[in-house]
Amino acid sequence: MTAAGFVSVVGRPNVGKSTVVNALVGEKIVITSPRPQTTRNTIRGVATNAETQLVLVDTPGLHKPRNILGERLNTLVYGSIAEADAALFVLDAAQPIGPGDRLIAERLAESGSPVVVAVNKTDRASRAEILGQLERAGEWDFNAFVPISALRGDGIEAVRDELEPLMPEGPFFFPPDMSSDQPDRFLAAERVREKYLARLREELPHSLAVVVDDIEERDSGSLYIAASVYVERASQKGMVIGKGGELIKAVGEEARRELEHLFGVPIYLDLRAKVEKDWQRRDETLDRLGF
């Protein structure tokens, strides 16, 4: 008999949720970055063993919303918790448990779902910090508490071992060799955004949205992908293009290489910068950009 279920991966921004999802899946399917609020959608990654399929739902970091986008993201997370069979609550080993973590813990407790707590980034914390964090988290009435380093892959098996028995018996939701349910256009847009997040400073990353407008197979077996890079103000357009088009070219080149690896075919990636005034604050643009 097989078992399969959904695991909502939740926590504050930047604690490493997406890195944990990639580690569990064993493949990079969601983007990560040192900037908070990298993840903006609930993205499913699939990790299948002989008997059990975990459908991991990566979520945006829960935070105090500053605009409609922020409110929509938080609503997504709460919805994801409600729909899941279990939650994986990720904490940063080196950061004290704060009001944000306590709020998430309360919501999880209310949901009644089983919860596994992962204390992440142990490679960056002292032994005392890790033990302290496990002890404080241990005051919550959750199922298991596991120290991990998602970056190094430490503790990932232990997390799997804790999650698997929590999955209900039943058939797999996805074919066992499938690692993500995301459409190619979304994966492509996210890779472009990730390359920008790595290169842009402070507030600009939050103003960025990437949309794939066109994706076509060419006769030669290659893929043609056209994507728009949206910013919120005319003054930001030059920043994403760079002097003489240098930045947009470099980002396009890096994203193209990773996408060729991901899709296994030659890729032609065409990037255009566009201004969409205050897109994060308007329902109409949020709908159109796919949030």
Ligand X SMILES: Nc1nc2c(ncn2[C@@H]2O[C@H](COP(=O)(O)OP(=O)(O)OP(=O)(O)O)[C@@H](O)[C@H]2O)c(=O)[nH]1
Q: Which range in 37-45, 125-133, 167-175, 250-258 contacts ligand X by CB under 6 A?
A: 37-45
Among 7, 25, 33, 133, binds ligand X (CB under 6 A): 33
Among 39, 113, 207, 236, binds Mg ion (CB under 5 A): 39
Counting contacts by CB under 6 A, is residue 52 touching ligand X? no
Among 8, 18, 52, 228, binds Mg ion (CB under 5 A): 18
DSSP per-residue letters across 71-117: HHHHHHHHHHHHH-SEEEEEEETTS---HHHHHHHHHHHHHT--EEE
3 vs 93 by CB, closer to ligand X: 93
70 vs 266 by CB, closer to ligand X: 70
On the 0-12 / 13-18 / 19+ scale of CB atoms within 10 A, 58 is buried
Can you tell me the distance from the alpha carbon of 141 to that of 202, in angstroms, rounded to the nearest whole number?
Answer: 37
Binding mask 124-143 for ligand X (x = CB under 6 A): x-------------------
Tell me how far, at minimum, the Cβ of 56 lies from ligand X, in Å.
12
Query: Count of alpha carbons within 13 Å of 168, Cβ hemisphere only?
Result: 10
Q: Which helix (H) or strand (E) holds 210?
A: strand 209-217
Structure tokens at 173: 């939701």
Among 8, 22, 37, 38, binds Mg ion (CB under 5 A): 38
Do 65 and 71 form a contact (C-beta atoms < 8 A)?
yes
Counting contacts by CB under 6 A, is residue 18 touching ligand X? yes
Residues that bind ligand X (CB under 6 A): 11, 13-19, 32-34, 36-39, 60-61, 120-121, 123-124, 149-151
